[in-house]
Every structure is written in C-alpha cells, then in structure tokens.
Amino acid sequence: MGEADQGRVAVEGLVKHFGSVKAVDGVSLAAESGEFLALLGPSGSGKSTILMCIAGFETPDAGRITISDRDVTSVLPQRRNLGMVFQRYTLFPHMSVLDNIAFPLKMRGVGRAEREAQAREALATVRLADYGARMPAQLSGGQQQRVALARAIVYRPPVLLMDEPLSALDKALREEMQLEIKHLQRELGVTVVFVTHDQTEALTMADRIAVLDHGRLCQVGTPRELYEAPRDPFVARFIGETNMIDGRAAADAAVGSRVGIRLVGDTVVEATAMAPLTRDAAVVIAVRPERLVVSADSGGPVSGRVREAIYAGVATTYVLELATGATLRMRSATGANALDLPADGAVSLSWAAEDARAFAAEGA
C-alpha cells in the first residue's frame, strides 16, 4: 500500500435495501487520503446509510468498501480502525472527561500512564486541556462535542467518520465548530467523511461534496464547482439559492453550447446547455439571484415588476414578478452603489449566457 492510499475510503457500486426501499442505489465514490468529503442531501437521500456501511454498522446488499486499499466490506466495525463522531455526544456520564477520552485506548490494551498521556494530548488538541477532571454534565454542548471529537482522534485513526455532529448546537456555536473541525482536520491530516443536510455547512467545511438524492449520487465536486456548474436541476436547487425558469429550446444544442430559450411570446433569452437539447424541447433555466442584472425600466429582454424588497444587512433581496407570471429573486449588495428599486416599479432583467444553465425539463 502506497502512502497516498493511507486513509483513502472508497465505495464501489454500493447498494442497500431496507425492506422494499432502496436506500442506496449503486453509489460509487471515494474520499482521497487527507481529504474532507461531505455527503450532502435531504432526509432519505442515503447519506447516513452510506456512512454506516463504511463504519460497518450496516452491511451492504451489494458493492465493495475499501479503507486504505483494504477490502473491509465484511470486516467487523472494531477492526476497521476508524474514528466516529455521532450527532449525539454519547459520552459516559459516570466517567470524567479524561477517562471518556482514554476509554478507546483502554479497550485497545494501552497502559494507564500512556493512555492518560495520550488523552491529555487529545484534550489539548481540542482546546480543553484544563477540563480533564470534569464530568460531562458540567460541560456545555460545544465542549461535550469537543470531548467526543478528542475521543475519536485519541488513537490517531487515518479516517474520521462524522454523522451530523453539529446539528444539536446553536447557530453561532455551530459556525465556530465548523471552522475548528476543519482546522483540526488539516492539522492532523486525517481523512474525514462528514454527513450533513446543511448546504452551508458542507460548502464551508468540505474539500469536495457528494450530493445525493433518493439513494443516488447526483454529482461530486468542489464547493465552487457545484455552485457554479451544477449538472442537473436538483443540484442547482439544493446547492445555494437559484431561480428556475421554464421555457423551450429555440434550436438544437449540444452540451456546453449557448442556446436560445423561448419564454412566453417572442421573448428569447440565452443560456448554456447542460444536456443535449432539441428544438422546442421543454427546458428549465437555472440562474443565481446575484447573477441577475436588473434596471428600473421595462425596455430590456425580460420585463417584470418589483413585488417585495427584503433588507438583510449585507444585501437586499428583491422579489420580482415577470410578465410571464414567474416569480424570481434578485440579490443586490448594499452600499454606495446599491440598487434602490421602487415598490411595484417596472424593471427589466437580463443575464449573461454563461451564468444561466439550461436543463431538460423533468419528464421531457
């Protein structure tokens, strides 16, 4: 095994049923050594089931799982050399913080003096060096999660699995812990597979994100790739906020080419084709709110009216109703050059073709 394979996690053709429900449907993906990979999707997308199969707590119906280039598909969980952090902290309430962290080492037969030294080192790593004598009930939620993290890394596993570990924390603490976990992962060089349904959390923490829906893998890419170049309408809707506009292709188009899209009447706009399109095929255009160009007149290619302005400090979101009846959102940064659109005022909209992505409509 090469050093580059140490800590690499791969699933190949993974399938898992629960009764008649196919929770995971032929998923293949890999977390490279030292990478932070997020499994992102709504409830029921299969992300936690994939993680439980990697951990060994679920047995796949088909497929193969390798860790550090070793086939572990049928290996017991305790023999996979993984660290695990759950949504619930699962600390032993009758043990001190130090004993909680040292417990995995005790189970591995490490002597008392050595395991306490390693536990203190792990505590220092998560910035709780002075908390070893406390009991879990004496800690805040964020401190308990740090202890759970220290317990997972105390024996320095090459892979750390995390199942929505921050969902029980309040917003401010969750955002703080996101950065702490990412910095710790980089410091240790450990491979992390992280399950979340929170797109902002995935965008903040992950090197790459695997987007799942109904047990299927939709797309894997960096946060920027998924936001800027979603490959299907689900990813476009799920990663960040986007406007979805119905239309019909004005001509045949190959993937990646610029294509005219007819809206209502004679209005034609341009977008980048994300699938092969045929003339008159039903399509949906995805455009991010911040990529819309809006002016306070009705002379542009697409006309509409301002229905609402939502001020949120750093930006104002305008809710626009098009002449077609569609409702779009446009976002403008506040400041000296900010837009100031009048309520119920007429506006015209446009966008660059490279900022709009045309997908074949579902069922088309």
Across 19-53, b (16+ Cβ under 10 Å) vs e yields eeebbbbebebbbebbbbbbbbbeeebbbbbbbbb
Under the banding of pLDDT at 50, 70 and 90, the label for residue 336 is low
* Helical axes 112-125 vs 171-188, angle rounded to 10°: 120
Average pLDDT over residues 146-164: 90
pLDDT per position as a tens digit, 352-362: 999 999 999 87
pLDDT at residue 325 in the model:
82
pLDDT per position as a tens digit, 315-326: 889 899 988 788
Average pLDDT over residues 8-26: 96
* Beta-carbon-side half-sphere exposure of residue 348 (alpha carbons within 13 Å): 9
pLDDT at residue 299 in the model:
66
Phi, psi of 293 (to 5 degrees): -110, 120
Give SS3 for 136: helix
The CATH number fitting domain 3-228, selected from 3.40.50.300, 3.40.50.2300, 3.30.565.10, 3.40.50.620 = 3.40.50.300
pLDDT per position as a tens digit, 107-116: 888 899 999 9
pTM over 0.95: no
Tell me how far apart the terminal alpha carbons of the chain are, to the nearest angstrom: 47
Q: Where in the chain is the domain with CATH 2.40.50.140?
A: 242-360
pLDDT at residue 249 in the model:
94
- Locate tokens 């706009």: which residue? 269
The CATH number fitting domain 242-360, selected from 3.10.105.10, 2.40.50.140, 3.20.20.140, 3.40.630.150 = 2.40.50.140
Which region among 1-5, 132-136, 145-149 has the lowest average model confidence (pLDDT)?
Answer: 1-5
Which region among 40-44, 179-183, 286-290 has the lowest average model confidence (pLDDT)?
Answer: 179-183
Give SS3 for 258: strand
Mean model confidence pLDDT for the chain:
90
Q: Where in the chain is the domain with CATH 3.40.50.300?
A: 3-228
pLDDT at residue 10 in the model:
97
Between 1 and 149, residue with greater pLDDT: 149
Alpha helix positions (H), 259-341 = none
